Amino acid sequence: MTHDLKRCFDILEISSSASHEEAKVAYRLMCQVWHPDKYTHSEQLHTKATSKIKEINDAWSHLEEFFKNGASRQTEAKESERRASEEQEKAHRADQERKRREDLVRTESEKASKAKTKQIDTGIRFTPSDLKSPIVIIGGGFIVIIILVCLLLWAYVLITNPMSIYNDVISNLKSGKFWKSGAFWSGIASIIWLVSVFRKKSPN
């Protein structure tokens, strides 16, 4: 507080921490006490009262401007604080919305990843342990036995009478009997069976 303002409070005989209303009451009281019309009976007192009332009016004029500017500054400060609070709240809501969207995207991505993993895991796969299944063991053993028997028979015939085998094969091929024989179609059926087993065990 400047020296002039302190002097204004002193003229009104109030504390420098007085409010606007308190200063107004003090001003009116001082005007009643020092009004020049009360001292018309004495020229000396009238002159002093005139000087005093002028001093009181000047002091009140300065104080009134001080209180008015203070109220304006207080209102401006409150308005600035309100705007800052609104901006902060707006930024907070925007941050929450951004986090909500990020969480939503992350959740959807995790769901899609889990669904894809589940779809892959539920596929049928062929593993070495599947070779131990009864169907594969029995079927494979049966085919191996047939192949071994055929190889032994062919080896025996080739050793004992090779020209007879050659002539029979050529004759069957020319006449078409080979394509109608049970051995040919048994071999085809065995191959188809093996392919179907491996296709069922392999992933999609």
Please indicate, yes or no, if residue 79 is contained in any of the structural domains. yes
Average pLDDT, the chain: 76
**Percent of the chain beyond pLDDT 90?**
20
Task: Give the structural domain span for 77.
Answer: 3-93
DSSP result, 50-77:
HHHHHHHHHHHHHHHHHHHHHHHHHHHH
Using an 8 Å Cβ cutoff, are 92 and 45 in contact? Answer: no
Tell me how far apart the alpha carbons of residues 59 and 31 are, in angstroms, rounded to a whole number. 12
DSSP result, 101-141:
HHHHHHHHHHHHHHHHHHHHHTS----GGGGGSHHHHHHHH
What pLDDT was estimated at residue 50? 93
What pLDDT was estimated at residue 48? 93
Give the residue, 2 or 187, on which the prediction is more confident: 187
Tell me how far apart the alpha carbons of residues 41 and 50 are, in angstroms, rounded to a whole number. 14
Using an 8 Å Cβ cutoff, are 130 and 201 in contact? Answer: yes
Is 141 found in the same domain as 82?
no
Residue 190 burial (CB count, 10 A): 16
Is 138 found in the same domain as 80?
no
Using an 8 Å Cβ cutoff, are 16 and 4 in contact? Answer: no
Tell me how far apart the alpha carbons of residues 65 and 67 are, in angstroms, rounded to a whole number. 6
Give the residue, 26 or 200, on which the prediction is more confident: 26
Please indicate, yes or no, if residue 180 is contained in any of the structural domains. yes
Residue type at position 179: W
Is 74 found in the same domain as 144?
no
CATH code for the domain of 55: 1.10.287.110
Query: Collapsing DSSP states into helix, strand and coil, what is residue 44?
Result: helix
Is 20 found in the same domain as 85?
yes
Structure tokens at 36: 């020049």
Query: Collapsing DSSP states into helix, strand and coil, what is residue 19?
Result: coil
Please indicate, yes or no, if residue 137 is contained in any of the structural domains. yes
Q: Which of 66, 93, 120 finishes a domain?
A: 93
Is 59 found in the same domain as 14?
yes
Weakest mean pLDDT among 78-92, 138-152, 160-174: 160-174
Is 142 found in the same domain as 82?
no
Q: Which of 48, 70, 93 finishes a domain?
A: 93
Please indicate, yes or no, if residue 101 is contained in any of the structural domains. no
Residue with tokens 């009997």: 177
Using an 8 Å Cβ cutoff, are 38 and 49 in contact? Answer: yes
Query: Collapsing DSSP states into helix, strand and coil, what is residue 15?
Result: coil
